[in-house]
């Protein structure tokens, strides 16, 4: 049987008298919820140690303690091959007997009170418990936690290996080394050891004078001190998880529909070098293409709430997308059509015609070529579209916070929740991954109403995204080359991270500053953007009658001379569509002089030439006529 450490909270005995229980823990939490049906079977068949909390769902202490327990379980999620965290509700009628039985059977129990129940103390208790296990009960996958010997470490010098070896050199009573060893358990490509600063020879040979210090032996035989911004567990663990070639061992959970959606796209793509501190316009445009031309295509017609959701979504994107003019113009045109159409029902094909610019309006274009750069995955089934959608929404929340007037006159202004609520409704109605939509809706119901400002909206989305990352870490939807971490990692934003009483905490003021910079227009790189759009040509014969999508047999608002709707001209003049310095200006947009496109200009020249020739012909015609007339009038009468 697995070794078991259990924790009784105060008032446990009173729990047996209680009636109906409310749920303190749900499947969303990183704890294993046990009941009388599965407790024995789970523990007896387990190869890991367990830390179980026997609690009573009605008791005030238990309720107050549950956030700490959940935080602890999230904090040590990566230790699950060595020790797992579970809960059992003794206030639940069906668990009465099993609770009594366990208390009689198990001798190692802890009654934790006061500071003993704090997260860091319990985590250190777990480390001690694992380290002091007898060899016989040692969880099979748990790595050694004892300090390594000096000669074993020195023998690594100059040795080539298939993996990195990190050695944390620390004080005897420090927990950093052991915690980093356990954090890296599910990763391959790196082995972590610890050594003590009492080993003078080791300190001398490695040239170390302060502790804790981490020393890294590279697979090619070289070695050096590991450079991290802060000598803390979280910084060491993050650094090691992000080393090239280090990735999470593959898990075996079910594949999500969102990943299936990426299959078949971009296969045989060449790997594109990218900078993870940048956002790529090509990801955003590819995401918009997928959203408009693929995801939406599953809805043959849009009506009622769906149509309203889509209109609001297009409004938000058209007004806030810091992209190229050709894309913004296309979104604005789409918005203009949607807003002014007197229809209750719109066929999807009409939207597709607009996205494809079947009307051949000059300067409107959204590439059909899918290219992922910051969102490329190690296989075609990973990352891609869902990554671009997250990116798009972060960009939009940041844009809304930086340009609070952007949504003026759209009925969405003055609402700090406008972007989040629109995103929420889009995800719930159209996002191809239904399960993801369900999870997202649960998160939104829980906390979205607490958002009171545009800055809080930016932070809310960041928090929820990290919540999803924590839930998906180690699942099959995780790309081994891009492990799901709590983002931004310390290398991207060292000031975002702090440690308080042994627990990693975010400095949210710094996170906000970072998010605004990272997702701001100036940080969006135009690299890899292709400009292979078709040049605007004359309308095809069946499209010449009216500049309206071929599937909509009504005439919408006519585009103005340059093909753009009225409010688009405003956007162009403000430069809002340029999206700041990070975004390329469109060299072939066709708007050249006083708003006339190159096609308009060519037609003018042609007309001019034609008029000249016509005038000259008229001139010669009248000259000849007048000569004849003169000859006639001067002929002498005979
Ligand atoms: C709304 C939504 C809900 C989803 N729910 C699920 C689900 O329930 N189950 C499931 O299997 N998949 C779900 N997905 C897909 C999943 O979240 C990932 O998008 C997908 O697995 C691809 O992951 P990725 O490695 O590309 O990183 P992503 O999580 O897609 O992140 C994209 C990029 O955003 C940045 N980033 C990461 N974290 C943050 C953060 N906290 N704040 C700001 N930026 C960040 C990073 O640069 C990262 O590369 C959901 C996607 C969306 C858009």
In a domain, 286, yes or no: yes
Instruction: Please give the pLDDT value at position 601.
Output: 56
Residue range 456-473: mean pLDDT, rounded? 95
Q: How high is the mean pLDDT of the chain?
A: 81
Rounded to the nearest 10 degrees, the angle between the axes of helix 418-429 and helix 434-447 is 150
Residue range 307-334: mean pLDDT, rounded? 96
Cα torsion for 445, 451, 454, 459, to the nearest 10°?
-80
Is 60 exceeded by the pLDDT of residue 274? Answer: yes
* CA 284–ligand 1 middle distance (angstroms): 14
In which band, very low, low, confident or very high, does the pLDDT at 246 lie, cut at 50, 70 and 90?
very high
Instruction: Please give the pLDDT value at position 259.
Output: 40
374 within 8 A of 280, measured Cβ to Cβ: yes
Going by C-alpha positions, the residue among 431, 487, 93, 466 that lies closest to residue 294 is 431
169 CB within 6 A, ligand 1 = no
Comparing 96 with 33, the larger pLDDT belongs to 33
Residue 192 phi/psi, 5° resolution?
Answer: -115, 135
Instruction: Please give the pLDDT value at position 132.
Output: 85
User: Same structural domain for residues 51 and 118?
Assistant: yes
Task: Calculate what percentage of the chain has a pLDDT beyond 70.
Answer: 77
Eight-state DSSP code of residue 3: -
Range of lowest pLDDT (50-54, 261-265, 337-341, 622-626): 261-265
Among left, alpha and beta (phi > 0; psi -120 to 50; other), residue 498 is: beta
Please enumerate in sequence order all residues whose Cβ is within 8 A of that of 481, keeping only pairs 6 or more positions apart, or say none: 247, 377, 378
Is 80 exceeded by the pLDDT of residue 556? Answer: no
Active site residue 59: yes
Residue range 165-191: mean pLDDT, rounded? 96
In which band, very low, low, confident or very high, does the pLDDT at 546 lie, cut at 50, 70 and 90?
very low
284 CB within 6 A, ligand 1 = no
Is 60 exceeded by the pLDDT of residue 60? Answer: yes
Which residue's alpha carbon is at the smallest distance from atom 51 of ligand 1?
A: 386
User: Same structural domain for residues 102 and 154?
Assistant: no
Instruction: Please give the pLDDT value at position 21.
Output: 39
Going by C-alpha positions, the residue among 638, 366, 396, 413 that lies closest to residue 529 is 366
Is 70 exceeded by the pLDDT of residue 273? Answer: yes
Which residue's alpha carbon is at the smallest distance from atom 13 of ligand 1?
A: 436
Is 50 exceeded by the pLDDT of residue 257? Answer: no
User: Same structural domain for residues 238 and 101?
Assistant: no
In which band, very low, low, confident or very high, does the pLDDT at 179 lie, cut at 50, 70 and 90?
very high
Is 50 exceeded by the pLDDT of residue 363? Answer: yes
Pairing of strands 524-525, 279-280: parallel
User: Same structural domain for residues 225 and 92?
Assistant: no
In a domain, 271, yes or no: no
d(C-alpha 400, C-alpha 408), whole Å: 11
User: Same structural domain for residues 73 and 119?
Assistant: yes
Domain-ending residue, one of 525, 554, 569: 525
CATH number at residue 188: 3.40.30.10
Residue 89 phi/psi, 5° resolution?
Answer: -90, 105
User: Same structural domain for residues 104 and 158?
Assistant: no
Going by C-alpha positions, the residue among 487, 383, 480 that lies closest to residue 187 is 480
Going by C-alpha positions, the residue among 149, 70, 5, 51 that lies closest to residue 467 is 70
Instruction: Please give the pLDDT value at position 99.
Output: 83
In a domain, 477, yes or no: yes
d(C-alpha 506, C-alpha 487), whole Å: 10
* CA 216–ligand 1 middle distance (angstroms): 31
* CA 484–ligand 1 middle distance (angstroms): 8
User: Same structural domain for residues 633 and 514?
Assistant: no
* CA 533–ligand 1 middle distance (angstroms): 30
Which residue's alpha carbon is at the smallest distance from atom 34 of ligand 1?
A: 391
User: Same structural domain for residues 378 and 440?
Assistant: yes
In which band, very low, low, confident or very high, does the pLDDT at 41 lie, cut at 50, 70 and 90?
confident
The model's pLDDT over 344-353, given as tens digits with 9 standing for 90+, comes to 899 999 999 9
CATH number at residue 398: 1.20.120.310
444 CB within 6 A, ligand 1 = no
Is 70 exceeded by the pLDDT of residue 242? Answer: yes
d(C-alpha 430, C-alpha 294), whole Å: 11
In a domain, 348, yes or no: yes
Please enumerate in sequence order all residues whose Cβ is within 8 A of that of 559, keeping only pairs 6 or more positions apart, or say none: 333, 359, 361, 547, 565
Residue range 561-574: mean pLDDT, rounded? 34
Residue range 479-488: mean pLDDT, rounded? 91
Residue range 545-556: mean pLDDT, rounded? 41
Token readout for 367 is: 């590439």
d(C-alpha 558, C-alpha 545), whole Å: 12
Token readout for 366 is: 């959204």
Please enumerate in sequence order all residues whose Cβ is within 8 A of that of 237, keeping only pairs 6 or more positions apart, or say none: 179, 180, 183, 184
Domain carrying residue 163: 150-248
46 CB within 6 A, ligand 1 = no
Instruction: Please give the pLDDT value at position 575.
Output: 34
Token readout for 553 is: 């047999």
Residue range 617-623: mean pLDDT, rounded? 86
Question: How many residues are recorded in the chain?
Answer: 638
In a domain, 261, yes or no: no
Is 70 exceeded by the pLDDT of residue 11? Answer: no
In a domain, 581, yes or no: no
400 within 8 A of 419, measured Cβ to Cβ: yes
Range of lowest pLDDT (44-58, 118-132, 279-293, 556-570): 556-570
Instruction: Please give the pLDDT value at position 532.
Output: 59
Q: What is the DSSP string of 60-95?
A: HHHHHHHHHHHHHHHHTGGGTTTEEEEEEETTSGGG
Active site residue 18: no
In which band, very low, low, confident or very high, does the pLDDT at 113 lie, cut at 50, 70 and 90?
low
Range of lowest pLDDT (256-270, 425-439, 483-497): 256-270
Is 80 exceeded by the pLDDT of residue 170? Answer: yes
Is 70 exceeded by the pLDDT of residue 387? Answer: yes
Active site residue: 18, 59, 375, 493, which one?
Answer: 59
User: Same structural domain for residues 131 and 79?
Assistant: yes
Residue range 308-328: mean pLDDT, rounded? 96
Instruction: Please give the pLDDT value at position 335.
Output: 94
H helix runs in 363-494, sequence order: 385-402, 418-429, 434-447, 454-472
The domain tally of the chain equals 4
Is 60 exceeded by the pLDDT of residue 540? Answer: no
485 CB within 6 A, ligand 1 = no
Residue range 47-64: mean pLDDT, rounded? 82
pTM equals 0.65
In which band, very low, low, confident or very high, does the pLDDT at 238 lie, cut at 50, 70 and 90?
very high
User: Same structural domain for residues 433 and 352?
Assistant: yes
292 within 8 A of 355, measured Cβ to Cβ: yes
Instruction: Please give the pLDDT value at position 110.
Output: 58
Instruction: Please give the pLDDT value at position 56.
Output: 78
In a domain, 269, yes or no: no
Residue range 223-245: mean pLDDT, rounded? 94
Q: How many CB atoms lie within 10 A of CB 401?
A: 22
Instruction: Please give the pLDDT value at position 568.
Output: 35
User: Same structural domain for residues 289 and 398?
Assistant: yes
Distances (CA, A) of 88 to 73, 506, 532: 14, 30, 61
Which residue's alpha carbon is at the smallest distance from atom 31 of ligand 1?
A: 387
519 CB within 6 A, ligand 1 = no
Instruction: Please give the pLDDT value at position 533.
Output: 59
Pocket test for ligand 1, best of 386, 438, 489, 497 (most atoms within 8 A of CB): 386
Token readout for 512 is: 């906000």
Helix (DSSP H) and strand (DSSP E) numbers for the chain: 20, 19
In which band, very low, low, confident or very high, does the pLDDT at 251 lie, cut at 50, 70 and 90?
low
In a domain, 267, yes or no: no
436 CB within 6 A, ligand 1 = yes
Instruction: Please give the pLDDT value at position 161.
Output: 95
* CA 45–ligand 1 middle distance (angstroms): 34
468 CB within 6 A, ligand 1 = yes
Instruction: Please give the pLDDT value at position 590.
Output: 36
In which band, very low, low, confident or very high, does the pLDDT at 434 lie, cut at 50, 70 and 90?
confident
* CA 477–ligand 1 middle distance (angstroms): 10
CA angle 82–237–135, rounded 5-degree value: 25
In which band, very low, low, confident or very high, does the pLDDT at 613 lie, cut at 50, 70 and 90?
confident
Task: Name the burial class of residue 210, with classes exposed (0-12), middle (13-18) and buried (19+) by CB atoms within 10 angstroms of its CB.
Answer: exposed
389 CB within 6 A, ligand 1 = yes
Comparing 328 with 12, the larger pLDDT belongs to 328
Task: Name the burial class of residue 458, with classes exposed (0-12), middle (13-18) and buried (19+) by CB atoms within 10 angstroms of its CB.
Answer: buried
* CA 376–ligand 1 middle distance (angstroms): 13
Is 80 exceeded by the pLDDT of residue 509? Answer: yes
User: Same structural domain for residues 65 and 208?
Assistant: no
Q: Is 303 helix (H, G, I), strand (E, B) or coil?
A: strand
Instruction: Please give the pLDDT value at position 635.
Output: 54
383 CB within 6 A, ligand 1 = yes
Domain-ending residue, one of 113, 137, 161: 137
Is 50 exceeded by the pLDDT of residue 169? Answer: yes
Is 60 exceeded by the pLDDT of residue 122? Answer: yes
Pairing of strands 301-303, 345-347: antiparallel
Is 60 exceeded by the pLDDT of residue 512? Answer: yes
Instruction: Please give the pLDDT value at position 534.
Output: 53
């Amino acid at each position: 049987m697995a070794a078991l450490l259990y924790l009784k909270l105060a008032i446990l005995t009173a729990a047996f008298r209680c009636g109906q229980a409310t749920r303190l823990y749900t499947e969303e939490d990183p704890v294993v919820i046990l009941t009388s049906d599965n407790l024995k079977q789970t523990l007896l068949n387990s190869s890991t140690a367990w830390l179980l909390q026997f609690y009573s769902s009605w008791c005030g202490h238990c309720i107050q303690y549950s956030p700490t327990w959940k935080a602890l379980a999230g904090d040590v999620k990566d230790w699950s091959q060595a020790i797992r965290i579970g809960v059992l509700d003794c206030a639940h009628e069906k668990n009465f007997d099993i609770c009594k039985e366990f208390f009689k059977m198990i001798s190692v129990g802890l009654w934790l009170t006061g500071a003993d129940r704090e997260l860091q103390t319990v985590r250190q208790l777990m480390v001690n418990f694992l380290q002091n296990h007898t060899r016989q009960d040692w969880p099979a996958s748990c790595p050694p936690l004892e300090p390594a010997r000096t000669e074993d470490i020195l023998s690594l010098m100059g040795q080539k290996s298939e993996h990195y070896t990190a050695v944390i050199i620390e004080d005897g009573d420090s927990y950093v080394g052991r915690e980093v060893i356990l954090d890296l358990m599910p990763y391959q490509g790196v082995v972590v050891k610890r050594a003590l600063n009492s080993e003078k020879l080791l300190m001398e040979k490695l040239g170390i004078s302060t502790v804790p210090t981490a020393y890294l032996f590279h697979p090619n035989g070289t070695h050096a001190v590991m450079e991290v911004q802060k000598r803390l567990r979280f910084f060491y663990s993050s650094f090691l998880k992000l080393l090239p070639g280090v990735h999470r061992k593959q898990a075996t959970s079910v594949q999500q529909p969102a990943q299936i959606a990426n299959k078949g796209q971009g296969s045989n793509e060449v790997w594109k070098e990218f900078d993870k501190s940048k956002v790529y316009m090509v990801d955003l445009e590819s995401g918009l293409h997928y959203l408009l031309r693929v995801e939406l295509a599953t809805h043959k017609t849009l009506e009622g709430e769906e149509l309203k959701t889509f209109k609001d979504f297009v409004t938000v994107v058209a007004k806030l997308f810091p992209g190229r003019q050709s894309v913004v113009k296309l979104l604005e045109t789409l918005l203009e059509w949607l807003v002014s159409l007197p229809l209750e029902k719109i066929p999807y094909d009409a939207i597709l015609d607009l996205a494809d610019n079947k009307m051949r309006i000059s300067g409107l274009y959204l590439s059909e070529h899918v290219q992922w750069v910051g969102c490329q995955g190690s296989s075609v089934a990973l990352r891609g579209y869902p990554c671009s959608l997250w990116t798009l929404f972060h960009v939009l929340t940041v844009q809304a916070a930086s340009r609070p007037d952007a949504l003026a006159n759209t009925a969405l202004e003055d609402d700090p929740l406008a972007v989040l609520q629109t995103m929420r409704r889009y995800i719930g109605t159209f996002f191809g991954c239904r399960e993801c939509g369900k999870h997202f809706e649960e998160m939104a119901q829980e906390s979205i109403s607490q958002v009171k400002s545009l800055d809080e909206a930016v932070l809310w989305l960041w928090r929820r995204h990290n919540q999803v990352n924590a839930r998906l870490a180690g699942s099959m939807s995780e790309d081994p080359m891009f492990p799901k971490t709590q983002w931004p990692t310390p290398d991207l934003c060292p000031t975002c991270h702090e440690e308080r009483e042994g627990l990693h905490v975010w400095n949210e003021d710094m996170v906000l500053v970072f998010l605004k910079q990272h997702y701001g227009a100036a940080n969006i790189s135009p690299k890899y953007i292709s400009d292979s759009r078709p040049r605007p040509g004359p309308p095809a014969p069946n499209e010449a009658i009216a500049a309206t999508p071929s599937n909509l047999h009504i005439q919408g608002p006519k585009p103005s001379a340059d093909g753009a709707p009225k409010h688009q001209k405003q956007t162009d003049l403000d430069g809002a569509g340029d999206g700041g310095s990070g975004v390329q200006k469109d060299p072939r947009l066709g708007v050249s002089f006083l708003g006339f496109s190159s096609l308009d200009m060519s037609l003018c020249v042609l007309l001019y030439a034609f008029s000249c020739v016509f005038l000259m012909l008229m001139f010669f015609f009248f000259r000849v006529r007048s000569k004849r007339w003169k000859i006639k009038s001067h002929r002498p009468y005979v």
